[in-house]
Structure formats: structure tokens, C-alpha cells
Amino acid sequence: MRYACVFAHPDDEMRCLGTLLRLHEQGHEIAFVTLTGGDKGLPFSGPDSHERAVAVREVEIQTVAKAFDATYLCLGREDGFLYDDESLRHDLIATLRQVNPDVIFTHWTNDYNADHVVTAKAVTDTALWTNLASFEPQVPANDHVPRIFHVDTGAGYGFEATHFVELTPNHAARKAELIRVHASQMDVMRHLRGHDYADEMADLDRVTGARLMTAHAEGFRPCLAERRIPWPSDLPGRLTTS
């Protein structure tokens, strides 16, 4: 099957990287899509600061994508100023048709970051239109509607995981390595919080794993919108639902 991570920024895929590792081991295809290039994600200043940040972060996400033999596409919207407008939806429909996923991982519909919230809404809505030829008629319609899982916010916001994927110690270690490929963001996090994203995700995965009486796990919620509801079997390995 084909899986797509459709998130607001490079590095947001960290919330499902362990699951992606399991899917990749099983031979499934993976694609990464971000709606922004993360141009505000580095403390640069100056007339070319945003372009420099995008260049740094693209190298990082491309390196992660390479680990999964995956493609990476960016819609190029402005970080921090992402709006769910007509232009975004046109571009997102065309991009989802190009990637043609069976399953999408995206943000939860409520989150601390407004770009995440916009992404979740836009992805959920436009996924329905990917197989309707009357939308974006210049791009051939797909033959199915992708199913959607929302990833854990790690911070509440009404998210309560109902589906879980267990991670082995090797998956957990490899996940940390891939998160730290986003070296620019690790530096920012250490400066702000005294630890990096890999540490933060490891803590979350341990808490989630405790619900399964295992060391590490990732949690998800299925999208419950018509025709976008995923099957439990869309997640890999031993699955536990709550």
C-alpha cells in the first residue's frame, strides 16, 4: 500500500516515525508532504533568513525521506501564516492525486500550532475530493479516497489515542536517530527547553507504551469523516485498540 505523511512542517513526521519504520520493513511505499518549508523554524535574521531556513530544513527532511526510499513534496506556503484558502486546497488536491496514498497520517484537528490545525482540516476535506473528477479536472482523479489517521499531539488538546502501534527497542532507537537528522530543530529545542525532540518523543512513546504494557508505542486516532475512516489493519504489526 501507499502511505503519505501530510504535515505542516518538516520534522512533524516525528510523531509517526516508528510506525513508518514498521511499514517500510513490510514493503509499503511512503511519501512525505509538507505544506510549508518551515521558513520560520531557525533563529536567522536578515533579508535571506527565510530562504536559508528552508534550504537547511529541506536537506534534513530529504535525508529522512531517503531512509524510507520516499519522495518529498513541499507546497511552499509561509510558515506560521498557513491559511485554509482556495489556493491551498487546489494545490493539495493536485498533490494528493500525484502521491495517490491509500492512507494518510496528518495532524489532529486541535493543536498548539495553528498551522497544524489548518493542515488537519485541509487534508481531511480535500482527501474526499481526490477521486472526484470535477475538482481540479486538469489532474486525473484517483480511483479511491484515502483513509486518514491523526497523530498524537503529545500535549492533550482533546486527543485521546484509540489505536496503537508497538515499537521494538530497535524501532525506538532508529526513530530517535531519524528525529535528530533535523539537527537545526534539535538546537532550537535544546535552547528553549533544555532537551531535544528525540527525548520528548521517547518520553511520549514510553507513556503510550505503558498503556499496552510494552516499552514504546505510538498512538493514533482514526478520522471519522465519511469515506475517510481507516481500517485497523492499515496500521502495522501488533495493533491494540482502546
pLDDT of the residue at 194: 77
pLDDT band per the 50, 70, 90 thresholds, residue 131: very high
Q: Of the ranges 131-145, 201-215, 225-239, which one carries the lowest mean pLDDT score?
A: 225-239
Phi, psi of 73 (to 5 degrees): -130, 140
- Look at the chain and count its residues: 242
Asked if 118 contacts 79 with a C-beta cutoff of 8 angstroms, the reply is no
Return the CATH number at 227. 3.40.50.10320
Distance CA 87, CA 46 (A): 28
pLDDT of the residue at 241: 59
Asked if 109 contacts 117 with a C-beta cutoff of 8 angstroms, the reply is yes
Asked if 119 contacts 74 with a C-beta cutoff of 8 angstroms, the reply is no
The predicted-structure confidence for 83-108, as pLDDT tens digits, reads as follows: 999 999 999 999 999 999 999 999 99
- 184 lies in which domain range? 2-241
Number of domains in the chain: 1
Phi, psi of 179 (to 5 degrees): -60, -40
pLDDT band per the 50, 70, 90 thresholds, residue 48: confident
Edge-to-edge order in the sheet of strand 147-151: 71-77, 29-36, 2-7, 103-106, 147-151, 216-222, 163-167, 239-241
Tell me the one-letter amino acid at 95.
T
Residue 29 has pLDDT above 90, yes or no: yes
The predicted-structure confidence for 102-129, as pLDDT tens digits, reads as follows: 999 999 999 999 999 999 999 999 999 9
Burial 183-210 (b: 16+ CB within 10 A, else e): ebbbebbeeeeeebbbbbbbebbeebbe
Asked if 178 contacts 20 with a C-beta cutoff of 8 angstroms, the reply is no
Tell me the one-letter amino acid at 215.
A
pLDDT of the residue at 239: 57
Give the count of alpha carbons within 13 A of 139, CB side only.
18
